Amino acid sequence: MVTRLGFLASGEGTNFQAIIDHLKLGILSECKAEVLISNVKGAGVVKRGEKEGIRVEVIPYETREVFERKVNSILEEEEVDLLLLAGFNRILSKEFVEHWKGKCLNIHPSLLPSFGGLGYYGLRVHEEVLNSRCLVSGCTVHYVTEDVDMGPILTQAALKTFDSDPRTLQRKINLLEHLTYPKAIQMHVDGLVSIEEIRNREEVSEWENVWEERQEEYLEKRRDEWERVWGEKLEVVLCKYVIR
């Protein structure tokens, strides 16, 4: 059965684009992008969605109750199975989150539970990481619950933080997110994880080996960007600095 994906996004949409690219390359399987909903007219993600030819809806944020009612109506109309928050800049209500329990994912630019929760977004996350003298940082994909950024974790990826300023670290982790979010989606679709449990680590490890081989095509297409941001060859970066 094909898992129907819906997106909630507010910004530039680079994670949205990474997921779409994984779908187009056939790396993400057994799922399909159905609808993108944004609360920001003219956002970069809206233009990306229109370019990719999926349904795009812009819903101005009047009140949370009205907004969420309209969102749910569209998601139900499209029979969405899995809702993906991709740079969505609003806090969802307890009722909305409960309705989508186990069927809504978010990505956060730190190794949760550190540097997460209310107020931790954008550049501030990376400033706090470096101010705390952390040797590693990364990103986390988790199920969305009432507690902001504290839902059960699907997967994480990490990198070494040395020689980084906040903006450079942000760019590096953003690239890491583009690998990690599609992986988490496939883990959910394949039944490796759920909001209640994660399958045994040995099974997940075997799955990850296969996934990394499949993802090589996407990485190769992004080689120039990775090497520009890191200043080193992609192979060196993946071997020396990144933990996937």
What global pTM score does this model have? 0.95
pLDDT score, position 204: 85
CATH (domain of 113):
3.40.50.170
SS (H, E, C) the chain: CCEEEEEEECCCCHHHHHHHHHHHCCCCCCEEEEEEEECCCCCHHHHHHHHHCCEEEECCCCCHHHHHHHHHHHHHHCCCCEEEECCCCCCCCHHHHHHCCCCEEEEECCCCCCCCCCCCCCHHHHHHHHHCCCCEEEEEEEECCCCCCCCCEEEEEEEECCCCCHHHHHHHHHHHHHHHHHHHHHHHHCCCECCCCECCHHHHHHHHHHHHHHHHHHHHHCHHHHHHHHCCCHHHHHHHCEEC
Q: What percent of the chain shows pLDDT beyond 70? A: 100
pLDDT score, position 230: 93
Average pLDDT of the segment spanning 231-241: 93
Q: What is the pLDDT of residues 27-57, one digit of tens each?
A: 999 999 999 999 999 999 999 999 999 999 9
Residue numbers of the domain that contains 220: 3-243
Mean pLDDT rounded to a whole number for the chain = 95
pLDDT score, position 197: 82
Into how many domains does the chain fold?
1
Residue 139 has pLDDT above 80, yes or no: yes
Residues serving a catalytic function are: 108
pLDDT score, position 162: 79
Residue 243: pLDDT band with limits 50, 70, 90: confident
pLDDT score, position 165: 92
pLDDT score, position 181: 99
